[in-house]
Chains A and B, each alone.
Chain A
């Protein structure tokens, strides 16, 4: 895991109080006792860390407490401590399991498709052609639209069985009208998600392509490598970390999808994911804050377990030098 930026030996050792430091002015860190120095290193981190802990962990701890109670807001009922009851009921809750499956499908499909399309489009846009910047601008725009609006526009203007543009196009080809949202609830939502997130992935991939060292590509050309060979041997390995970044960020945001479901299908067996299920159980009509909190805690723990595995074991995203 330990990787240094510098070609070996090209620069002085980077850090750490026990480094045989080059001559430094007396005010330098090396002159301080080591725990004081460590705190000076940590100091800049603290505002962000403390802020994040306060803003996320306080609600989180409150949620854990709620999850151990039978708190129901409507009808009003005394809040009682029920221990792990809300958790014990979970495995038998078929709807929760279904929602988990939908969540996984929705996230996996939309992340993979948007990364794939984003990469292809980035490759397309990395070539010079007339109107390159303009086309990039066109493709970027869906990312900038409010999710609620994107959902409503697609539902009413694109997918609509009678008045949708998609069916208007299909009709020109002699195909009967398709009730997209009813017949393919998950597919419809994934389509809109992919539409909104492809531009984001495209940006990341374009960044990846443009950060390729041109001298290496040049050298490979001179050595007579084919375009395909260069792509496989150089570009793809180089893009790997960008793809990983795209997958990570995409997953974080797409796991939370809520607005799209609320406006496009309004739930239903095929399209209720975990956030929407939690919503329905709590402020969306169920008012069972105890049980809904338990669901969210399970969602968080599971997400973190999966993320730990994905980020720390499979990916290179956390590479970098270790602190001394």
Chain B
């Protein structure tokens, strides 16, 4: 008790009169309170155990150690997308049964997967035997010697059929002839639009539109009920950064010039082309963009497009699978066009979630056996009939043979050809009009610093989209940030 309140607390008021009454009293309290306390803990334990008791009990998840006891187990880290969940579910039946190799998956959110795989690769963690990394990381990790060169495995494995890989994807994962990761799922970007809405407005979308044409159509269609176009505005080098960089490229702008040795040169954010691109992007979103644009990324645009809130959407090709799904309200109403361009011939991005083997691995052969199955043509052919989403939901974009499967053509006819066309056209080698530093990349610059710079600058650009700061301010601050990385 605080002394200024005055009275002694009730407990200090207890007169001490020998041991027996106190003991009795305290024992009574012990019983009472322990009883209640025990009840709470019991409920807590019961609920956790209830969970543990019901449902199929599988212990393979945890507690299994890596090797030693005869059974072979691989720890695999993958990103949380539906295609990865599908393969995880099919692994026991299609892989473990044949090979006896158990696969222990960790499904992680993209940001955490990137943190963990980069940290493990760079600082020597060995918790995973196979990791899923992106087209951004794979060549960099390979160059750093953090992951194994898979070329030997790939070429010596007939079932794998390395020449079936879509050339641009293969090229993106290869440095100096060494293939560092095997693509599980790949995507480009293209423009999705509501054919019915455009028809009604008497507008026509060219096969290969320019950004000016797209902007004009967007502004024309835009109404109180329906926004003209959905573009990402959420901060992050892989969110706003990805879409915006493809716009930059085709506007003839870029983040950095390249030094002769391929290192990061002077920042180019202060160049007129860059300003033009950002003003175009912000202006288009301002006039005809989706609701709450500075918060929107892939998922938000999916929501709004499915709900009929936007007429067009420029994003990953894989989105078409959602739009043409059986429960989609816009199924069959969509048209697809190549990524809009301005100064360049093509502008679509290239991304692949790919499996790689960390250099610290203890058993590369075992890891390859898994990769060969998971990313080989066999899995795609077998998965189509077994996964909940059917043929349209198989991992797209990695192999030419996928697009020759009649079942896939039936199920994904609305967008399969356009996807393949976009994949093959992705300008992985020459995304813009000027040389870039680092390794090849379309919607990113192939240097590790791009993450940091991209995150910081897209925070500013997102703020400009929201109207928090001006485009001028965003550009000048971003130029400073980008300059700090110049070598």
Contact = CB atoms under 8 A, between A and B. Distances in A.
Q: In their complex, do chains A and B touch, with some C-beta pair under 8 Å?
A: yes
Interface of A: 3, 5-7, 73-76, 95, 155, 160-163, 177, 179, 181-183, 213, 215-216, 234, 237-238, 240-241, 262, 265-270, 272, 280-281, 283-288, 316
Contacts of A163: 303, 307
Contact of A280 (B9, B456, B466, B467): B456
Top 7 A-B residue pairs of the complex, sorted by shortest distance between their CB atoms = A161-B292, A285-B451, A182-B466, A286-B452, A73-B122, A182-B294, A179-B292
A160 B122 contact: no
B268 interface: no
Contacts of A215: 7
A73 B468 contact: no
B469 A269 contact: yes
B119 interface: yes
A266 B5 contact: no
B7 A73 contact: no
Contact of A73 (B118, B295, B462): B118
**How many of chain B's residues touch chain A, expressed as a range?**
35 or more
Interface of B: 1-10, 12, 111, 115, 118-119, 122-123, 140, 144, 234-237, 239, 291-295, 303-304, 307, 309, 447-449, 451-452, 454-456, 459-460, 462-463, 465-469
B292 A283 contact: no
A114 B49 CA distance: 34
Instruction: Describe A's contact surface by its main secondary structure.
Output: loop
Contacts, number: 121
A268 B463 contact: yes
A162 B292 contact: yes
A270 B291 contact: no
A3 B455 CA distance: 54
B455 A285 contact: yes
Contacts of A183: 466-467
B5 A181 contact: no
A272 B459 contact: yes
Given A216-B7, A238-B5, A160 B459 contact: no
Given A162-B291, A267-B459, A75 B468 contact: no
A234 B463 contact: no
B118 A287 contact: yes
A76 B146 CA distance: 10
Contacts of B236: 266
Contacts of A181: 292, 295
Contacts of B239: 266
Given A6-B8, A161-B291, A213-B9, 12 more contacts: A6-B12, A7-B8, A73-B118, A74-B122, A74-B140, A75-B447, A162-B309, A213-B5, A267-B455, A281-B452, A283-B119, A286-B451
A262 B5 contact: no
Contact of B2 (A155, A238, A266, A287): A238
A37 B239 CA distance: 64
Given A237-B2, A280-B452, A287-B118, A267 B235 contact: yes
